[in-house]
Amino acid sequence: MAKIPVQPILKAAKTAIPRVIEIAKQNPKETLAILGGTGKVVKGLIKDKDKKFQDKKSKGKVPYRKIQYRKYHNEVLPNLDSFTYIQLNTYKQEVENYIKQISQEEVNELAINKPIHSKRTKSWKQVLIQIEDKIKNRNYEELLKAYNSSTYANIYFDDKVINNMRNIENKKELFKYIHQYSERNLNDIERDFS
96 assigned to some structural domain: no
HEC states along 101-149? HHHHHHHHCCHHHHHHHHHHHHHHHHHHHHHHHHHHHHHHHHHHHHHHC
Structural domains of the chain, count: 1
**Sign (positive/negative) of CA torsion 31, 128, 91, 178?**
negative
Has residue 194 been placed in a domain?
no
In which domain, by residue range, is 41 found?
1-61
Sign, Cα dihedral of 80, 84, 89, 95: negative
pLDDT surpassing 70 at residue 71: yes
In a domain, 127, yes or no: no
Asked, for residue 34, whether it belongs to a domain, the answer is yes
pLDDT per residue as tens digits for the range 74-121:
899 999 999 999 999 999 999 999 999 888 887 776 656 666 667 888
Q: What is the pLDDT of residues 149-164, one digit of tens each?
A: 888 888 898 889 999 9
Half-sphere exposure (CA, 13 Å, Cβ side) for 62?
17
Residue 78 forms part of a structural domain = no
Whether 53 maps to a domain, the answer reads yes
145 inside domain? no
* Band of residue 72 on the pLDDT scale cut at 50, 70, 90: very high
Task: Check residue 180 and give its pLDDT.
Answer: 93
Asked, for residue 110, whether it belongs to a domain, the answer is: no
Kindly report which listed range (32-36, 55-59, 76-80, 163-167) carries the lowest average pLDDT score. Answer: 32-36
DSSP 21: H
Q: What is the mean pLDDT of residues 124-131?
A: 94
Burial of 122 (0-12, 13-18, 19+ CB in 10 A): exposed
Q: How far is CA 56 from CA 67, 151, 158, in A?
A: 11, 51, 40
CB distance 182 to 139 below 8 Å: yes
pTM higher than 0.85: no
